[in-house]
Amino acid sequence: MDKLLILAYNEELYIKETILSNIDFFDEIIVVNDFSKDSTLQILNDLTKDYKNLKIVNNPKNLGAGNSMNEGIRKALETDFNYLFKIDGDNQFRNTDIEKVKELVYENKSDFLKADRFWPEGIQGKIPKIRYFGNAFASFLIKFITSNANITDPLNGFFVFSHKSAILLKIPKIFSRYGYPFYINSFFYELAMKDKLKVHQIKNKVIYENETSYIKPTIMFLKLIKYSTRFYFFMIKEKLRYSKFQMSGLLDLVSLISLVISIVSISRSIGARYFEVDANQSAWFIISILFLVFFIFLNIGSRSLVRNVNKEIFKNL
């Protein structure tokens, strides 16, 4: 039994087509309506009269995409299933991709699968610049904090969860509204690192038309920075627990020490230059550059050490 989870907020233009294009491929479709202000709810109620496998979850107020994700998973777990597919209600995802992915997850016995739209044929239409640059920044962060260059497009909203993995997932408060896909990617990579789940990635196609984005870039930026900093330190500790990651963890630890020395040194140089601090400006500046280079070199080495391991635990299908 397979289920489809759709998140919807003010999707009156697209929600009906999104549902009808997928209704025959799933035993149950769950739509979480996040207190839409347009006619989304009325459209959903009308569709339930004709399709008994369509279930609606109405949030009592606007809770945000992350909380809606939690509500949708909770609803899905009320009855058994093999896989839970998740898309958004703006009809961006092709049902041909969904058909292909259904075959792949069964064939490869995936526990978690994410999508990547940033390839030559992945984006149809014009992606909003804020989404493009936001994803570029998020991609840099996810690669850095996981030491895995294979993870791409961490804000893509197309996921597949096995029953086993869906039970484990709960979006934290920091991502209750924005950025929850970033958390999902980092969370399941951590589990893959511990050999608890089979994690995969596929290329998908996304259609952009005139969709409205409700993301607030500044808030998203701050949340990603805060979470990534915390997760990076957590990952160093986790790496040191597993033999195949220990050397990478040690290099990460030394690189952090190098970064701290570099920051202290440049602050001493600036103090000598502008605040009459008793210090050799040139010497401290050179030291800061040397340790910054050392920091970069160690990080490159850390990622090189786990490159082959990452290919095994995080596979592209």
The per-residue DSSP string of 18-87 comes to: HHHTTGGG-SEEEEEE---SSSHHHHHHHHHTT-TTEEEEE-SS---HHHHHHHHHHHHTTS--SEEEEE
pLDDT tens-place string over residues 87-105 = 999 888 888 888 889 999 9
Q: What is the C-alpha to C-alpha distance for residues 31 and 12, in angstroms, rounded to an integer? A: 13
pLDDT tens-place string over residues 290-299 = 999 999 999 9
Least confident residue range of 129-133, 143-147, 262-266, 313-317: 129-133
Q: Name the burial class of residue 54, with classes exposed (0-12), middle (13-18) and buried (19+) by CB atoms within 10 angstroms of its CB.
A: buried
Q: Which CATH number is 2-237 given?
A: 3.90.550.10
pLDDT tens-place string over residues 187-229 = 999 999 988 899 999 999 988 876 666 677 788 899 999 999 9
- Give the 3-state secondary structure of residue 306: coil
Asked if residue 83 has pLDDT above 80, the reply is yes
CA dihedral (106, 111, 117, 119) positive or negative: negative
Q: Average pLDDT of 12-22?
A: 94
